């Protein structure tokens, strides 16, 4: 069992989740149960799955939850693009959030490979 709080990728994904919650506060109220909820859920799923995987008994389970976190990151990447294209996010905010998602995905990929290869 690992302490998820010690993982840089968890810290970055937690900070991203906080940022997504902040920026979605300004989304239209009619999106409360649509894009706002979906973006927040996808964002929170990244650090939550990392944490859950760290609490599991096997490296295979950890890798599986890291892969789920990767899928959530890809989902969030699309939600942010959609929010930008709908005019809910200005370009600068969108770029910053998108860059953060891409960085998290770049951190998760080798972590997953390392765990799957048994070198975790």
Q: Dump the DSSP string for 20-62.
A: HHHHHTTS-GGGTTTHHHHHHHHHHHHHHHHHHHHTSSSHHHH
Domain boundaries, the chain: 4-117
pTM score, whole prediction: 0.95
pLDDT tens-digit map of 66-110? 999 999 999 999 999 999 999 999 999 999 999 999 999 999 999
Indicate the class that CATH gives domain 4-117. Answer: mainly alpha
- Give per-residue pLDDT as tens, 52-70: 999 999 999 999 999 999 9
Closest CA to 26 of 87, 77, 67: 87
Q: How far apart are CA 77 and CA 87, in angstroms?
A: 16
In sequence order, the 6+-apart residues with CB closer than 8 A to the CB of 117 are none
């Amino acid at each position: 069992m690992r302490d998820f709080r010690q993982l840089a990728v968890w810290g970055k994904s937690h900070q991203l989740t906080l940022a997504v919650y902040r920026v979605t506060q300004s989304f239209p109220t009619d999106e409360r149960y649509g894009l706002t909820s979906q973006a927040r859920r996808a964002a929170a799923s990244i650090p939550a799955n990392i944490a859950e995987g760290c609490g599991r008994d096997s490296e295979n389970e950890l890798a599986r939850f890291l892969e789920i976190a990767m899928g959530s990151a890809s989902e969030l990447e699309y939600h942010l693009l959609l929010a930008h294209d709908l005019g809910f996010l200005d370009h600068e905010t969108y770029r910053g959030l998108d860059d953060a998602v891409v960085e998290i995905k770049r951190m998760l990929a080798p972590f997953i490979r390392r765990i799957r290869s048994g070198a975790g």
